[in-house]
């Protein structure tokens, strides 16, 4: 019980225009929170603020995302420790049928994270807005390029934000090609 109370004391729940928003501020036990959210039926917006989510917690968070069909906005902006922990979250999106807005901005991502996201987006039809601003690493040019290229055939995504990443002429060409084919998407670069 103490662990749950410790987890809950760093959480702020608010009603924002009839949306239940959960703000997680410096949470000490993401694992317990993930377990609680697995059975959640009211929280629609989940934001992590000033949290550092380590690899084992990211796996539990991924499991929660896979099971939860109430959360529509998942904001992990700047919360994930460096590494490939994103894979469990990204793969969980293949099974999640409620998340419409995903913000992974200000996290360090590898090409493999982008490639996994490309594969998941072929199956996920609920995501509409993806924010990947400032996910810089020296190797992400290929990952971002492939993700943007995949948007040619994806009619579900309406906004893809890859701004503040590597400035590359090849990426700019891929964006132009994609926007000529897919008129439904807006790409921020």
**pTM summary value:** 0.88
Tens digits of residue pLDDT in 37-75: 888 888 899 988 778 888 888 999 999 999 999 999 999
pLDDT reading at 5 higher than 50: no
Q: Dihedrals φ, ψ of 8, to 5°?
A: -70, -30
pLDDT reading at 9 higher than 70: no
Contact of 99 with 117, CB cutoff 8 Å: no
CA distance 163 to 148: 12
The whole domain housing 83 covers 2-188
User: Which residues touch 86 (CB under 8 Å, ≥6 apart)?
Assistant: 58, 80, 104, 107, 109, 113, 116
Q: How many domains, the chain?
A: 1
CATH classification of the domain holding 135:
3.80.10.10
């Amino acid at each position: 019980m103490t662990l749950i109370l410790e987890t809950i004391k760093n959480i702020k729940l608010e009603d924002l225009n009839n949306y239940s928003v959960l703000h997680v501020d410096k949470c000490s036990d993401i694992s317990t929170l993930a377990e609680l959210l697995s059975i959640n039926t009211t929280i629609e917006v989940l934001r992590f603020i000033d949290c550092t989510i380590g690899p084992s917690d990211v796996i539990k968070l991924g499991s929660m995302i896979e099971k939860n069909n109430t959360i529509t906005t998942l904001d992990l902006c700047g919360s994930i420790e460096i590494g490939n922990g994103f894979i469990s979250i990204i793969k969980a999106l293949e099974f999640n049928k409620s998340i419409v807005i995903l913000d992974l901005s200000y996290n360090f991502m590898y090409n493999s994270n982008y490639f996994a996201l490309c594969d998941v987006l072929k199956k996920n039809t609920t995501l509409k807005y993806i924010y990947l601003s400032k996910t810089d690493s020296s190797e992400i040019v290929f990952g971002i390029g492939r993700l943007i290229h995949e948007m040619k055939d994806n009619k579900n995504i309406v906004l893809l934000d890859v701004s503040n990443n590597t400035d590359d002429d090849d990426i700019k060409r891929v964006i132009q090609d994609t926007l000529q084919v897919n008129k439904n998407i807006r790409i921020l670069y």
